[in-house]
Structures are given as structure tokens and as C-alpha cells.
Structure 1
Amino acid sequence: MSNLFTLIFLVLSVTQVYSQDDWFSYITEKDKEFMAVTTNLRYDNAKPNYKNLLIVGKTTQKCHKNGYPTELGLEELFTFSDTTAQVLNRTVKKNRLVGVLTYQCNGFDVFYIKDTVGVRAALEKVYGNYFNNEKYYIFLKQDKRWQYYKDILFPKRFTDDFFINQELLTALFYDGYNLNDEYNLIHWFYFKKEKYRKKFLEKLKVINVTVHSLKTIEGKNHPYELQLVRKDQLQPAFIDELTRTFGIFAESYGGFYDGWGIKLNYSYGYT
């Protein structure tokens, strides 16, 4: 079972699935490290009248060097989340799981709940019975305006580029990639005319790019393909700015930017 599938399964298993749910995962920076966030975007516009924030979590020793849990670590967190959901459904039925955080070998479930009476005691009792020798967390406070959801869970950017970049960044992070390391990234561009591709490439030579491939694809509106390789780190904010800049620059030469990928074991030269 892949890390991504396990995380999705974890989220869907600890809460009732609503027809309007809109789960989205992304990576953000926190204290020079990276945190994986899975959040339900539906609550940006439709918040129930639950005024109490509950965050529960535990530590796992089974995690990658980048701090994200391995498959075995995710299974541990799933067991903890499933146990939490059962306690909440018995103690305070009006509860909503709105997000899941993983940060430096810790997993956290974020809820908003209607009432708080008996919640902490019920959780501590069950955690003491089932996770007595493990490090776990319970954080409970009033949050009438859902400020935690707005500040921590909901993404700061909401553009097409952001969503496209995050799809690949989350997959890499879940597989254990250190986003602070440098990797050979391959970028795809397409142009209407060969002369525009040539001019574009001349301008880009000043930013340390290497041509990986030059192709002509017949029958396309933009038949002149250009693949470039550049070595960069994978910090989400930097990737967003880089791809946005590439997109604007390609458009100024009658072309478009079509995304990026990671090129392992790359030997410089082009075909």
C-alpha cells in the first residue's frame, strides 16, 4: 500500500464521508522543515456552528528522514485516529474532522466539536489504555471564528499552478524525498514557431538551464517542444515562483509552460 493511498484511507476512515467534502493535500514550510497538510476545503464557505477546536496526535518512530511517516508509521497513526473517532462519536457526536497534519514524525487530527464536556477525560482514559507507552497530545480550546482552520489548514495560495505543483510535491514528500535537497528538474515548454523557441532558449541560458530535448510534434498547435533541465531545491514557495515565472516568460514568446518532473540519474546532454 503506497503512502499516499494510506493517508487518503486514514482520512476517509475516521470521519463520515459527506457528499460535499473536498479533501486536498499540500506541503508547507514550518520552522525550516516541512509539514504535510490534508484539509477539507468545503469548510471555507460552510462552517457548522461548532466553536471548539480539538487537536489530537501521537508520535511515531517509523518515519522517513524528512519526517514523514513510513507505511508502518501511517498504520500506527491510522489506529490512533480510528480510536479517537470512536471516542468522539460516543462522547460528542457533533464533531467534524477538518484536517490532518504530519510534521517531524508526528501525526495530528484536527476537529471542531460542538461540546467539550467529558471529551478530554474520555480521550485520556482510552489513550492511557491503548497508547500508554507512547507520546500523545490533546489540545482543546475555544475557536469561535475557526481561526486555526483559516491560518493553518487552508492553503494560502489558490491558483492552478499551486494545485498542479502540490500534486507532485506531496507525492515526492510522502515517498521520503528531502525537499531541501537539490534535484535535476525537467521542464516542458511548447511553442508555435521554431524561431520563438530559439529566442526563448537564448534568453534562458543566463539562469543555468541545460537543454534535454528539442522535438517537433506534427499536428499540434504548438508543435515545437523544448525540455530543459535545471538543478533546484523543492521548497514549495520557490517551486511556485519558478513555475509561475516560466509560464509568463513562455507566453511572451508565443508558447506555454507545461509543467515539471524530477529527473533521476541525469547525464547532461540533449537529444
Structure 2
Amino acid sequence: MKYILLIVVLLFSIPLFAQTVEDHWETYTAQYDDGVGSTIVNMSLLADAPIVQYPFLVKISVKINRCNQDGFPMENEWDGLYLMSDKLKAVFAVHGPFKAVGTFTIQCWRTDYYYVKDTVALRQALTAAAKKYQPTRECMIETRSDPKWNSYLKFLYPNEETFEYIKNQKVVIPLSQNGDKLTKPRQVDHWLYFKTEAGRNRFISYAQQQRYKIEDKKLSARSDFPYQLHLSRVDNVDLPTISKITLQLRRKVKEYDGTYDGWETFVIKK
């Protein structure tokens, strides 16, 4: 079970899949029953999943021979993992089209997830390739039917809270990289959009009860949500705190036919 998000970005979490221009990959880590796990997921497939032409799941789990105390690969392990992934991916290409959907690392094991049209002779070919190129590395290959893409939709793809962290990291990480310790409260500005002026006005009453300041409200160029609202409040911006705030806004604004469009703030270096 995935139950507590810890860190969203890890320097070692580099996709082992070839990416196309259309691919959108995200990385996050979370606490699971077995320990801390890192997930890399192809977000681009959500709109089409499940893809009925690819009903079979293939999981390739590779043992990490040298891992750190958190169960993740040490630096000198990456070349071997890259080699194994590339060689096995070439086997998929020979046996027909496939969809690479993600990878999951936990407790010194790294598992790549693929969906394929047919598994005939594929498992044997993958096993032979693994033994040929890295005979001393333990490898487990599982093939099974998963026409609903449960492994992608219910396990790899981030849940609502995790997805909020992924979005907020894009603001928090640059703050940290610019010397911000993320320990001091500061003004945080939020933007929301509504389908109707009445919906915006009702949300303003809620926002004021939550101590938000109304900075501005105006018409926007958005035809679907034309009524803009700019709020601000003094808050902490560490990832857990700001994600709790934005998730609450994102959920609440839907009740008023609105959508949450993000936040920004400034760097505090002292």
C-alpha cells in the first residue's frame, strides 16, 4: 500500500526507457508497507489507458547488487542497470510493439513495467537475454493478463495527493536551489478561475473565512473559465505544507465550478 509521500525528486531516478517527444515522465517517492519506494511513470498514457490492444503486462525485476541504506542503487550500479534495460528492451522490439509505462524501485530491486499485445515466446526470450548479458545478476520476469491496466492506473500512476506534490515541486525546488531554506512563512499568491461570476463570489466568502486576502478579480481570456480570482495568504512553503494548502484549494474550488491554476512566491535567503 502506498500511504505517505516522502520526497518527490531523487537525483538517481532516471528513466531507463527511451523517451519520445510526446512522452511526459514524472518521478516521485513514497512510503510503502515494505519501505521507501521510487516510481518513474509515463504520464502521457493516462488519457488512453487502458489501451485494449496491449492487454498483457510484463514485469522485469532486476536485483540491485550494490544499494544504499534506503534500498536504492549506488552510483556504480547504474551502468549495469542501464545495460540490462537496453538489452531487454531490444527483445521487446523484436517481438512486436509495446508500451513502456514505468519503473519501480524498492528494497534493492528495480522493476520495469511494459504492456504488450502478445507474450508468445517473449518470456523465454527475455530470460535468455538476461542470462546472456548479466549472468550473475538475479532477474525475475512475470507475464500476466492485465486488460484494465491496473498496474499502471492503480499502482504506478500517482494518486491525488502525490500528484499535488509533483506539481508543487516545480515551484519548491527552484526556491531551494536559489538558497531558500523553506523555513520562513511568506506571502503566497494563488490563482483560480471560475465558470460563473456567482461561483467566484461564493468562493470568495469561503476564502475570506480561511484568511485569504483578495488581491484581484477580473475577466480573463479563458473562454471555459473566464472569471479570474487572485488570492494571497502568508504561509510556509515547504513541500508537505504547501501541498496540503493547494490540495484543499483544488478540491474546494470544484464545488464552485472553478479550477485551481497554481501559486507563486519569492525567495527568502536569510
Q: TM-score, normalised by structure 2?
A: 0.61
CA contact (8 A) 1:161 1:243 kept: no
The amino acid of 1:85's aligned partner reads: K
The answer to whether residue 84 in structure 2 is matched with residue 80 in structure 1 is yes
Q: Rate the CA distance shift 1:93–1:169 in 2: closer, same or farther, 3 A.
A: farther
The amino acid of 2:17's aligned partner reads: V
Per-residue CA distance 1:90-127 (angstroms, 9 max, x = gap): 2x221111101111121111000011100111111122
CA contact (8 A) 2:13 2:40 kept: no
What is the 5 A alignment of 1:88-167? 88-90=92-94, 92-157=95-160, 161-166=164-169
The answer to whether residue 178 in structure 2 is matched with residue 190 in structure 1 is no
**Larger CA deviation: 140-149 vs 161-170:** 161-170
Cα distance between partner residues in 2 of 1:75 and 1:244: 35
The answer to whether residue 11 in structure 2 is matched with residue 4 in structure 1 is yes
The amino acid of 1:129's aligned partner reads: K
Cα distance between partner residues in 1 of 2:13 and 2:247: 37
Q: Rate the CA distance shift 1:86–1:259 in 2: closer, same or farther, 3 A.
A: farther
Report the counterpart of residue 21 of structure 2 in structure 1: 19
Give the alignment's Cα RMSD to 1 decimal: 3.9
Give 1:63's match in structure 2, choosing from 58, 67, 84.
Answer: 67
Where structure 1 has 5 or more consecutive residues not aligned to the other structure, the ranges are 171-183, 193-199, 201-220, 230-238, 250-255, 264-270
The amino acid of 1:59's aligned partner reads: K
Cα distance between partner residues in 1 of 2:163 and 2:151: 24
Q: In structure 1, the residue corresponding to 2:73 is in which secondary structure?
A: coil
Cα distance between partner residues in 2 of 1:228 and 1:158: 16
CA contact (8 A) 2:65 2:108 kept: yes
- Percent of aligned pairs with the same residue? 22
The count of corresponding residues between Structure 1 and Structure 2 is 200
